Amino acid sequence: MNNIKKITIYFICCTSLFLGLLFDENSSGGAKIDHTYLIPFIENFSINFKNGFQLFIGQSFTLIHSPVFYLITGFFLKITQNILVVKILYLLLSCSIPYIFFLIIKTKYEIKTDYLFFFSLLFFLSPYFRSSAIWLLGDNLSLIFFSLSVLFFLKINFNKDKIINYYLCFTFLILCSYIRYYYCIFSIYYLIYFYRNLTLKDFFKILIFSFFLSIPAFYYLFYVATQFNFFGGISTFGTLNYYTNALIILSIFLFYLFPFILKDSFLIFDFYKKKYKNILLIFLIFLIIYLIDKFYFPNMINFSTRGGGIFIKISEVFNLDKSLFLSLIAFIGLIVIDYLFKENRFENYTLLIILILCFPLFSFFQKYLDPLYYFFFFCLVKSNYLKQTFLNETISLKFVYLYHTSFFLFSLIYYYKVVQ
């Protein structure tokens, strides 16, 4: 396919976001509510920094978020004096994410095919990507910075001596973390890799550089911790909820990986049939934790009334035991993920643990992983199975598009009825 056709298709996909803006599309459910609640922060930052910051820190539950996104959008609102113009600019900026993803997978797999191009357009079917673009939420801006960080991280693999890529990788990760704090945990993965591939002198130079870039964040954290009830504000979101969030993460990953592993489900079954003792042990661990939670120590598995992802919604619709249902789904999800991880388990599981560590709080929303999972599995994870998917084009994109289109339309209809 020639470039003119590709640009035309990309333009049509971007136009779909403008139509969503025109018709107040709310395919993720909470985006419209979040926008209504958060827009006063943008408006007050547009007046001046003092107004915006006082309003922001005056809400105890906003302290766990960063004010940087509202400061940036407030600045553009001050220039344009029109929130619709700011929304359009942000929507256009969001359209860069699929293209950056395309550059990343082209860099990683070293191929140029129409398959990669159309695969990258799947972003436009993500309810959460679309909602962030349409409703002026910070998720997409943080994802832009994170995607650029991943791009330069992969460039390091092809030229380990080009030191500028190390600095750019960490710079964009820090910028990303200024919007969404939890991305900073990925610095652990980067630092491990840097330590292995850099001289000690260069490694410490990057550490010092990163420290200076992070000083405003450290100062802000110190300020809100000492001047306001920062940790009390965090406690309003509940206690640490790592195990439950891990179950949710595994279940959501299974949902998104389903169209990619369906045709090889029998291969996965045959692979683990020979390792049935290991599988049985993992299953027993899930089962024992469920039984302990049910009969001895309630709230080991503890779900928020908000969020939880698609399988939580299914359990609510059919009135299922959430803890048991999600434990079973998470178990299957872990088996599928392990199959993808099998050639590089240590490195890939390190990434998975880091991802889980990013989300300690009580409530977990599917938007945290969508569209982040694209970058996690197809850019960072080292999997021969996924690599062959791109090299040999073994997965039918028609089926993948049908799957994601169905999910998008279901979300659109479901939340239209809920909100209405």
Task: Please provide the DSSP assignment of 225-251 as one string.
Answer: HHHS-HHHHHHTT-S--HHHHHHHHHH
pLDDT, residue 409, reads 95
**212 shares its domain with 303:** no
Query: pLDDT, tens digit, for every residue of 13-59?
Result: 999 999 999 999 999 988 999 999 999 999 999 999 988 988 888 77
pLDDT, residue 64, reads 72
pLDDT for 393 beyond 90: no
Q: What's the mean pLDDT in 102-120?
A: 90
**What angle in degrees, to the nearest 10, is found between the helix axes of 127-134 and 139-158?**
120
pLDDT, residue 104, reads 96
pLDDT, residue 5, reads 93
Burial 155-166 (b: 16+ CB within 10 A, else e): bbeeeeeeeebb
Please give the mean pLDDT across all residues of the chain: 91
What confidence tier does 181 reach under pLDDT thresholds 50, 70, 90?
very high
**14 shares its domain with 143:** yes
Query: pLDDT, tens digit, for every residue of 123-157?
Result: 999 999 999 999 999 999 999 999 999 999 999 98
Domain's final residue, options 180, 211, 235 = 235
Whole-angstrom distance, CA of residue 287 vs CA of residue 283: 6
Number of domains in the chain: 2
Q: What's the mean pLDDT in 380-387?
A: 94
Residues 6 or more apart from 364 whose CB is under 8 A from it? 241, 244, 245, 248, 249, 304, 307, 308, 309
**What angle in degrees, to the nearest 10, is found between the helix axes of 3-22 and 127-134?**
70
Give the closest residue to 309 by CA, choosing from 347, 355, 237, 253. 253
pLDDT for 360 beyond 60: yes
**133 shares its domain with 197:** yes
CA atoms within 13 Å, Cβ hemisphere of 216:
10
pLDDT, residue 233, reads 56
**98 shares its domain with 185:** yes
pLDDT, residue 274, reads 84
pLDDT, residue 420, reads 52
Burial 168-198 (b: 16+ CB within 10 A, else e): bbbbbbbbbbbbbbbbbbbbebbeebbeeeb
Range of the domain at 351: 242-419
- Positive or negative, the CA dihedral 389, 393, 394, 397 is positive
pLDDT, residue 415, reads 83
Query: pLDDT, tens digit, for every residue of 198-242?
Result: 999 999 999 999 999 999 999 988 888 777 766 555 555 557 789
Look up residue 248 and give its two tokens.
Answer: 């949710």
Decide if 383 contacts 377 (C-beta within 8 A). Answer: yes
Q: Is 28 helix (H, G, I), strand (E, B) or coil?
A: coil
pLDDT for 419 beyond 70: no
**254 shares its domain with 219:** no
Domain's final residue, options 193, 212, 235 = 235
pLDDT for 395 beyond 60: yes
